[in-house]
Structure 1
């Protein structure tokens, strides 16, 4: 996989696109977890959301750069 992707004649690092995709995926998972009521059992919801973002972006990065 190339380390940079050309978008409109500008080279964009692949990890930036993965971070954007991870943010969107995390937002979707967050909405699902909020609808199911899981956040009532979580000690610190904003910390849980931050960890969910880090884990999602990390998994996407590992999948691409493996």
Structure 2
């Protein structure tokens, strides 16, 4: 996808939108993992959270490029 996304006259790069969406999904997943008590099995919590955000951003970007 080349170009910008126009939201009410303001142009945003697509990566900014994908990272914002990934951040929202990441927050939901992190809350679910914390509620289930699965963080006790994870060695480095901040590293896990960063990897989750990067993987979700890549997945959303790949999906958006295929369908738009």
TM over 0.5, yes or no? yes
User: Which blocks of at least 5 consecutive residues in structure 2 are unaligned?
Assistant: none
In the other structure, the counterpart of 2:39 is 39
Q: How many residues are aligned here?
A: 66
In the other structure, the counterpart of 2:19 is 19
In the other structure, the counterpart of 1:6 is 6
Q: TM-score, normalised by structure 1?
A: 0.90
User: Which blocks of at least 5 consecutive residues in structure 1 are unaligned?
Assistant: none
SS at the partner of 1:11? Answer: strand
- Give, in angstroms, the shift of residue 3 of structure 1: 3.1
SS at the partner of 2:58? Answer: helix
CA separation in 1, counterparts of 2:56 and 2:9?
29
